[in-house]
Amino acid sequence: MILKKATVLIVDDDPDVLTAVKLLLKTEVQEVITEKNPENLNWLLQRNEVDIVLLDMNFNSAINTGNEGLYWLRKIKEWKPGVCIIMITAYGDIDLAVRSLKEGANDFIVKPWHNEKLIGTIRELLDKKEGVKAVKSSVKSTSGDTSILGESEVMQDIFHKVNKIAPTDANILLLGENGTGKDLMAKAIHERSLRADKPFVKVDVGALTDTLFESELFGHKKGAYTDAREDRPGRFEDAHGGTLFLDEIGNISLQQQAKLLTVLQNRQVTRLGTNKPVDVDIRLICATNLPLYELANENRFRKDLIYRINTVEINMPALRKRNEDIVILARHFAKLYAGKYLKPSVDFDATALQKLKAYNYPGNVRELQYTIERAVIMADESLLKADDLIFSIMETQADIVVDDDNVPLSTMEKNAILRVIEKHNGNITRAAKELGLTRTALYRRLSKYDI
């Protein structure tokens, strides 16, 4: 939408703010509506085609908690789900501002604002609302093939949130199935942050035993245990000044959670074998494939730790829920691997495109990536056909189960696991990734089937 055609509603109990915004916007937009009393919001929204609401966080100067603004934010989302909302706060409190984004706000500004910035924010939201993008829709990392691409609405929302949150030090929890790109998103967030020139340290905490957990994260002193032959800093110290990414956070034990919580609260680590704490300055990003409601089970995960790691959560959608991005991603991977394997330019014919769009992708973007890589390597021609696209062994096994009622599902699952483990020469990490499981979940199945 063109800015000149927009209607903007400003809700603030400070008449000076209303006057200032109206004077600023009256030559920029079609109509500016001002209102001191948020009780009139529903009436105004029903009688006007409002495109943007500028909403104050506080309407009671004696309280100043921001809860009033959050209440009216929820009401606006209930009454007019499609309207864009920019929160106004005088406090610059990142937790409060971030909370408004989690509640559904599109953006926030801090008083006193820069006029050009406010106008630019309004214009950007209007463009986004209409799907008008001057540049390709992506969040990019500078490391190899780590572009996160997408033109779907759900990915646009994620890109916008990342652009707002990345420059802050807010802790981030990435949620989503295996293969949705949580590790790439963590790296992209780091590279868009103010810590971009500092270390980015990743740890797969779900694979660590209790002893290795402490040593790996907090470090150890020489002689702290049998194999500790020298002093070694842990990953917290390695990431000092930068970003620490803890992958598979949902799989750590309650005992490990307690130790991690203590470090995050104190911002200090104590190496094994010493009593001397070391200050650490890190930006924390965590990831898990568990749904948040499952993670919030007190018998499995401490709620106080969830609050600590989850200032902002980003849900990475399954590829089947962003179907319009499949062809974009497929062409990206085709170009990437054609260059890597010195192949001519690669594209897809109509049958290949139809097959790509019809598939369910249990392994998500990672499965699509590996499928395209195999196709580029094996294809004899530069135009890939449907027969060139061979999807995962798990999908093949599922088809066999459906066609043969005499074979138990447990037998088919066991056989599929055996084939994938054999394919990767016993490498459990790689096997788990192809199967769409965590290492812990795969180990449980190995025990279940006595493999």
DSSP secondary structure letter of residue 323: G
pLDDT at position 231 is: 83
Contact between 126 and 6 (Cβ < 8 Å): yes
> What stretch(es) of the chain map to CATH 3.40.50.2300?
3-129
The CA distance from 390 to 372, in Å, is 9
pLDDT tens-digit readout, 308-334:
999 999 999 999 999 999 999 999 999
DSSP secondary structure letter of residue 387: G
Whether the per-residue pLDDT at 241 is higher than 80: the answer is yes
Mean pLDDT of 412-426: 76
The CA distance from 363 to 433, in Å, is 8
| Mean pLDDT over each residue of the chain, to the nearest integer | 83
pLDDT at position 402 is: 38
Whether the per-residue pLDDT at 238 is higher than 50: the answer is yes
Among 12-21, 235-244, 247-256, 407-416, the minimum mean pLDDT is found in 407-416
**Better pLDDT: 397 or 129:** 129
For residue 129 the two structure tokens come to 């609302």
pLDDT tens-digit readout, 220-231:
888 767 677 788
pLDDT at position 440 is: 78
Assigned CATH topology for domain 319-391: Helicase, Ruva Protein; domain 3 (1.10.8)
> Considering only CA atoms, which of 348, 345, 347, 320 is closest in space to residue 154?
320
> What stretch(es) of the chain map to CATH 3.40.50.300?
148-315
For residue 234 the two structure tokens come to 């842990």
DSSP for 159-223, please give it: HHHHHHHTTS---EEEE--TTSSHHHHHHHHHHTSTTTTS-EEEEEGGG--HHHHHHHHHEE-TT
Among 176-180, 292-296, 348-352, 376-380, the minimum mean pLDDT is found in 292-296
Q: Would you give the end-to-end CA distance of the chain in angstroms?
A: 59
Whether the per-residue pLDDT at 368 is higher than 50: the answer is yes
Mean pLDDT of 208-215: 84
pLDDT band for position 395 (50/70/90)? very low
Among 90-94, 155-159, 296-300, 361-365, the minimum mean pLDDT is found in 90-94
pLDDT band for position 410 (50/70/90)? low
The CA distance from 247 to 182, in Å, is 9
Whether the per-residue pLDDT at 400 is higher than 50: the answer is no
Query: Is the four-CA dihedral 388, 392, 393, 397 of positive or negative sign?
Result: negative
Assigned CATH topology for domain 3-129: Rossmann fold (3.40.50)
Contact between 84 and 126 (Cβ < 8 Å): yes
Residue type at 271? Answer: R
pLDDT band for position 130 (50/70/90)? low
Looking only at the bridges linking them, the beta strands covering 383-384 and 219-220 are unpaired
**Better pLDDT: 412 or 196:** 196
pLDDT at position 416 is: 80
Angle at which helix 428-435 crosses helix 439-448, to 10 degrees, equals 90
Among 81-85, 108-112, 130-134, 361-365, the minimum mean pLDDT is found in 130-134
Mean pLDDT of 175-181: 93
pLDDT tens-digit readout, 259-275:
999 999 999 999 988 88
pLDDT band for position 399 (50/70/90)? very low
**Better pLDDT: 400 or 205:** 205
Among 23-27, 44-48, 401-405, 426-430, the minimum mean pLDDT is found in 401-405
> What stretch(es) of the chain map to CATH 1.10.10?
394-448
Calculate Rg over the CA atoms of the chain: 25
Whether the per-residue pLDDT at 285 is higher than 70: the answer is yes
CATH 3.40.50.300 fits 148-315, yes or no: yes
pLDDT at position 446 is: 81
Residue 175's beta-bridge partner residues?
288, 315
pLDDT at position 140 is: 52
The CA distance from 344 to 403, in Å, is 39
**Better pLDDT: 144 or 323:** 323
pLDDT tens-digit readout, 66-90:
578 888 888 998 888 778 999 888 7
Mean pLDDT of 152-169: 90
pLDDT at position 312 is: 92
pLDDT tens-digit readout, 286-300:
999 988 777 777 778
Q: What percent of the chain is modeled with pLDDT above 90?
A: 42
Residue ranges of alpha helices (H) inside 207-289 are 210-218, 235-238, 254-266
Q: How long is the chain?
A: 451
Q: What percent of the chain is modeled with pLDDT above 70?
A: 87
Assigned CATH topology for domain 394-448: Arc Repressor Mutant, subunit A (1.10.10)
Mean pLDDT of 333-338: 92
